Amino acid sequence: MSNNPARIAVAYHSGYGHTAQQAEAVAAGASVVPGAVVELVPLDELTDEVWQRLAAADAIVFGSPTYMGGPSAVFKAFAEASAKVWADDLAWRDKIAAGFTNSKAMSGDKLNSLVYFSILAAQHGMIWVGLDLYPGWSESTASSEDLNRLGSWLGAMAQSDADLSAEKAPPATDLRTAAALGTRVATVTIRHLRGAPAA
């Protein structure tokens, strides 16, 4: 059993800053777990340092806005460039993976981005972790302030009103959901690295 920290990388793209807020919330949620070390890895420039930071991570959380029903072109460029990691004997094998996305519509076909991230993870031999939350805002007495108000299991979803800047959107309710995903990823990663405590 190792007590080395669990290294969580949040690998994301954000065109206008909204998804970056979600990425920071995922990172903040992971950071509250004792033993987790978290870093944000923007994917705008695919430098050697980016690949080194991801190689060193125990978990990679993929994030992108949903553009035209899927991940952004910047994220797709990263995914395609990751083929060189894949070709290196599945160098990301057994890392924990998860994902999040943000778009302007409540649905906006965001699920397609999460499906894309999960397939990317599977192709790399990574271990996908979803969101262990019941859907919020889905009963007559429920509220848009509920955790997981957009009702996703595959990963964390957020919605940003198109006329609001990244200082105001996505709303706090979606950032709490993103933080919950970060906490879950860090907890599962530590369990994966150290094993479950003996009963």
Is 14 an interacting residue with respect to ligand FMN (CB under 6 A)? yes
CA-to-CA separations, 195 to 25, 93, 188, in angstroms, rounded: 26, 17, 10
Report the residue number, 23 or 57, with the smaller CB distance to ligand FMN: 23
Q: Which of 3, 48, 141, 162 binds ligand FMN (CB under 6 A)?
A: 162
Question: Rounded to the nearest whole angstrom, what is the least distance from the CB of residue 12 to ligand FMN in the complex?
Answer: 9
Q: Which residue is nearest to ligand FMN (CB)?
A: 108
Cβ–Cβ under 8 Å, residues 98 and 185: yes
Q: What are phi and psi of 156, to 5 degrees?
A: -95, 130
Is 108 an interacting residue with respect to ligand FMN (CB under 6 A)? yes
Question: Rounded to the nearest whole angstrom, what is the least distance from the CB of residue 187 to ligand FMN in the complex?
Answer: 26
Looking at 54-62, 98-106, 119-127, 137-145, which segment touches ligand FMN (CB under 6 A)? 98-106
**Nearest residue to 35 via CA among 155, 199, 193, 181:** 193
Binding mask 17-56 for ligand FMN (x = CB under 6 A): xxx-------------------------------------
Looking at 37-45, 66-74, 87-95, 182-190, which segment touches ligand FMN (CB under 6 A)? 66-74
Per the DSSP assignment, residues forming a β-bridge with 159 are 103
Question: Rounded to the nearest whole angstrom, what is the least distance from the CB of residue 41 to ligand FMN in the complex?
Answer: 15
Give helix 18-31 / helix 172-194 axis angle, nearest 10°: 40
CA angle 176, 180, 29 (to 5 degrees): 85
Beta strands in 68-183 (DSSP E): 70-71, 96-103, 127-128, 156-159
Per the DSSP assignment, residues forming a β-bridge with 128 are 97
Question: Rounded to the nearest whole angstrom, what is the least distance from the CB of residue 31 to ligand FMN in the complex?
Answer: 21
Q: What is the CA radius of gyration of the chain?
A: 16
- For ligand FMN, the binding residues (CB under 6 A) are 14-19, 65-69, 102-105, 108-109, 160, 162, 166
